[in-house]
A = this chain, B = another copy of it.
Amino acid sequence: MSKRESSGYKGEALKALINAGCQVGDVIRVTRYEKTYTDKPSSRNYGGKPVKQPCEEKAYEGILIPRSETGDDKHIVVKLKSGYNVGIRVTPEVKIEKIGKGTKPAFASPPLPEQKPELPKVIILSTGGTIASRVDYRTGAVRSALSASDLYGVVPELSDIARVKTEIVFSIYSENLTQQHWKQLAKIVAEHIWQGTDGVVIAHGTDTMAYTAAALSFALQNLPVPVILVGAQRSSDRPSSDAATNLIAAVQAATRGPFADVGLAMHETLSDIAIAVSRGTKVRKCHTSRRDTFKPVNGRPIALVKNNEIIMLTDNYQKRDAARKLVLKPEFSEAVAIVKFHPGLNPAVIDWHVKRGCKGILLEGSGLGHVSKYCFDAIGNAIKRGVVVALASQCIWGRVNMNVYDTGRDLLALGVVPLEDMFPETALVKLMWVLGQTSNPKEAKKLLKTNIAGEFSPRTMAEEIGVEGESADGN
């Protein structure tokens, strides 16, 4: 393997590949003497003593693929026949063999289909992640490009739904996105809307997609058309991929949805039957790997996309209206922290954040909105120094009610802002956004309590979805 063709490999990994005469694209076999502990049913032992697993030989066969972004120098990555990628650490126990000549990755794009002038216009923005980087992923090479012709090559149905334009905004794993990326993305979305698109689709890594959805919900107010985030849990080279189904539904929702809100389109269940479009402030990634990982929290999805129909599940939306004037408020504060309460939490972490110049702290409290009394002094001091301290519940579901127990009442008396039925992630993003709008704590508190983008559900809605009573306790 020459340096030029090493495609991201360096150090030990590169050396081992050169020694084995392997190049990216080659079919290789990697044999490893397995020593890693694995958690198998037979290893369960309540007495606390680990049951040793027998050592075994493990072999992987597949295509050697390039490493990307922040790759280390110790692993090689093989795409198995199943479509999975496996990272294998290069050690003296690992043997690498070339067993077949590689075919160069080919990205042959079909000619662009005719754009039908009667169809609505959509802009598909890509930011990175499984859906964007692998939607045209065939032979093992990662390609984080998203051109219109790439898309039509993989998802030809799109040309019957809309006139598609595409733009690569970032090619970043979503865990590396920050407030600055939200700002830039909000501005680009606004430009496309001002230029008259009928809908916006944003392809996004799923890890922080819900955070970005909340951020855009606050930054893009008074929307004339829908803005739909979409991701994939399985890349399109795998039989169980949700990439195409999700993308088609997102384009349908963006171009034909009667609502003009920020939404997030992903599988409703494990089956391909329906894609749920959830409100950007009311949705959370709740499973590491399932296709129906995004769950609405304290509310129902806005709509389902099913059999090419858009089925509205609520009347509670802003109607699409091309004449409405978008208001762009893309600033987010970076001086905001989350403090998750747990037994034994050291309250000094609150003091430290304040000392570092933190302007807002989101407490992830327990139950109806509690933290240990050992934290009261630190919280009181923070508030006295002008820090906005707000609280959402780590329960995730339900509504905080800080009037039921002394602990809650004491926190209210200190000046903590209860965030109703917002779950911690949306609450954190809102606090960042609020402190991007104002540095006045009093104004910030007022804005925090104002329903900007459906982040507070009305109590009637909470009851509809089975949340009981309004002053329920449970300390």
Residues of A at the B interface (CB closer than 8 Å) are 37, 39-41, 43-50, 67-72, 74-75, 84-87, 89, 129-130, 173-179, 181-182, 205-208, 211-212, 221-223, 231-235, 240, 261, 270, 285-291, 293, 316, 318, 327, 329, 332, 334, 336-338, 340-344, 346, 348-349, 352-353, 356, 364-374, 376, 393-401, 403-407, 409-410, 413, 420, 425, 428, 432, 446, 449-454, 456, 458-461, 466-469, 471-475
Contact = CB atoms under 8 A, between A and B. Distances in A.
What's the number of copies of this chain in the assembled complex?
Answer: 2
A469 B407 contact: no
Given A44-B458, A207-B366, A349-B353, 19 more contacts: A39-B459, A40-B458, A46-B453, A47-B222, A48-B327, A67-B406, A72-B409, A130-B473, A175-B370, A177-B343, A179-B343, A207-B474, A285-B394, A286-B397, A288-B393, A290-B467, A290-B468, A340-B340, A396-B396
Contact of A403 (B49, B87, B316, B338): B87
Contact of A420 (B39, B291, B327): B39
The 3 closest A-B pairs by CB, nearest first: A288-B398, A289-B472, A233-B474
A11 B230 CA distance: 55
A301 to B, nearest CB: 17
A46 B286 CA distance: 27
Nearest to A341: B175
Contacts of A231: 474
Contacts of A327: 47-48
A420 B473 CA distance: 33
Given A44-B316, A206-B474, A407-B175, A401 B343 contact: no
Contacts of A206: 367, 474-475
Given A356-B348, A410-B72, A207 B475 contact: yes
Q: Which of A86, A366, A373, A399 has the most B CB atoms < 10 Å from its CB?
A: A366
Contact of A70 (B342, B396, B407, B446): B407
Contacts of A212: 343
B343 A211 contact: yes
Contacts of A394: 285
Contacts of A208: 342-343, 366
A337 B316 contact: no
B43 A474 contact: no
Given A46-B222, A406-B69, A397 B288 contact: yes
Contacts of A367: 175, 206-207, 285, 288
Contacts of A338: 340, 342
A287 B398 contact: yes
Given A396-B286, A450-B48, A370 B207 contact: yes
A89 B376 CA distance: 19
A425 B451 CA distance: 30
A319 to B, nearest CB: 10
B401 A289 contact: yes
Nearest to A71: B406
Contacts of A340: 338, 340, 364
Nearest to A67: B406
Given A37-B449, A39-B458, A366-B285, A409 B75 contact: yes
Nearest to A218: B48
Given A70-B407, A207-B367, A413-B74, A337 B343 contact: no
A240 to B, nearest CB: 7
A437 to B, nearest CB: 9
Contact of A368 (B289, B370, B371): B289
Given A293-B395, A467-B290, A468-B289, A474 B232 contact: yes
